[in-house]
Amino acid sequence: MIKTAMEKIVIVGAGMTGASSAALLRKVLPNGAVVKIVDKSRGTGGRMSTSRSSTGKSATVDLGAQYISINSHYAKTHQSFHEELMSQGLLKPSTCVIENDKFGGEDIKQYVTPAGVSSLVKYFVKQAGAELMYDSHVSKVDVEDNKVKLTTLKGDVELCDGVILTMPVPQILQLDGSIQNLIESQPKVKENLENVSYSMRFAVGIFYDPGVTLSYPWAVKYFRDNPCVCFISIDNKKRGIENSSVGPSAVIHTSVHFGMKHIEEDKEQVKNIIMKHVKELLPDLPEPAEVKGHKWRYSQVHKSYAGEPGCVVLSNSPPIILAGDAFSHSNLDGCLDSAQSVNDAFVQSLGLDHPTNRL
């Protein structure tokens, strides 16, 4: 356990890296220390988000990450973690039919999340005992009297003893305050941050009332040549859940090219364009009860931070650490790698000889 006066750590970003970092740090922080997670959205998950219909009559849809893809390397190095999630019923091997599967390869096994992909993030938040603050868009990061001062767009101020920033890198570079001086003082870090890039896409969730049947032989289908639609997933079928008391649901992801072309347009207008393409691909698709559109400006990391270090320490005293899939890679295990690097760097920044906590 860390022997320190650390009383409050704030993690910006309620996605997988933020949640798993919180769970790891909880094991080494002193009793009574506060771990707080703040996010500009209204819920937990980040790009591992699960959306519900407004009526609650339909199954949920995963608007971001769809599968947990585990290769042989991570099957060994993160085995205990995967087994823990499976023992909790949060993760299970995929048995659904994937048509035109773009993954393939014997080295990768696909897993699904029966309760939705955000359930994995929520599990770690619970393990961390973290305080949560939603609808809080951090816009400024300053260092004052060996404390980190976070200011939101609403003008709210949070003082803490250390901060972990897990938002997309372009949002880190847009932050105001003395964090800019820290970045400017490390030219190579600045260059590497500026070279990080992301893919862009849109997602649409469609919800149906109970009694509707989506009669397709597949749970997921990829469309390789469509100018708009990348894949369609019948989410409840993908997860292996057939419940007559709720209606089916499906999610559509667009291609990256379509996302880049329309990224500055209103998501509601783009939603209509996407649904027109979907009806052309699946003309017998029933009319949904509800349609939700979502814009992923930062969908997946296209170009990672050089060397994929897991995290970057901008300051040791007080600790200011940059983390997330940009510093590793865009999947569950990449986020866990980043969280472990955060844990190692955080403990080292506090003067201990070596990290004490691993997944």
**CA nearest 34: which of 70, 5, 60, 62?**
5
**Mapping DSSP to helix (H, G, I), strand (E, B) and coil, where does residue 316 land?**
strand
Residue 83: CA count within 13 A, CB half-sphere: 7
Cα(167)–Cα(255) distance, integer angstroms = 23
β-strands 229-234, 249-254: how paired? antiparallel
Q: How far apart are CA 55 and CA 140, in angstroms?
A: 37
Positive/negative CA dihedral, 276, 251, 331, 132: positive
Q: Which residue has the tokens 């409050």?
A: 8
Could you tell me the two tokens for 133?
């603050």
> Which residues 6+ apart lie within 8 Å of 41 measured at CB?
14, 49, 134, 135
**Domains of the chain with CATH codes:** 8-42+134-197+305-349 (3.50.50.60), 56-110+200-299 (3.90.660.10)
Residue 214 structure tokens: 């989506």
Q: What is the pLDDT of residue 355?
A: 46
CB 46 within 8 A of CB 332: no
24: helix, strand or coil: helix
Crossing angle of helices 16-26 and 332-349, rounded to 10°: 40
Q: Are 163 and 146 in contact (CB under 8 A)?
A: no
- The sheet with strand 108-112 has its strands ordered as 68-71, 108-112, 92-93
Confidence (pLDDT) at 6:
80
Residue 5 confidence (pLDDT): 65
Backbone phi and psi for residue 201, each to the nearest 5 degrees, phi listed first: -160, 170
**CA–CA distance, 4 with 7 (Å, rounded to integer):** 8
**Closest residue by Cα to residue 311 from 33, 7, 25:** 25
Per DSSP bridges, beta strands 249-254 and 311-316 are: unpaired
Looking at residue 353, its pLDDT comes to: 44
> What is the model's pLDDT at position 3?
43
- Alpha carbon distances (Å) from 61 to 41, 113, 187: 17, 11, 42
Those residues whose C-beta lies under 8 Å from the C-beta of residue 104, and which sit 6 or more positions away, are: none
Place of tokens 């509707």: 212
Ordered DSSP codes for 281-299: H-TTPPPPSEEEEEEETT-
Mean pLDDT by 10 residues, the chain (359 residues): 70 97 92 94 94 91 93 94 96 92 75 96 96 96 96 96 97 98 98 97 96 93 94 93 87 96 95 97 96 95 97 95 96 96 86 50
Q: How many CB atoms lie within 10 A of CB 271?
A: 20
Q: What is the DSSP letter of 58?
A: B
- Residue 108, classed as helix, strand or coil, is strand
Q: What's this model's pTM, rounded to 2 decimal places?
A: 0.93
Rounded distance between C-alpha atoms, residue 349 and residue 359, angstroms: 20
Q: What would you measure as the largest C-alpha separation in the chain, in angstroms?
A: 64
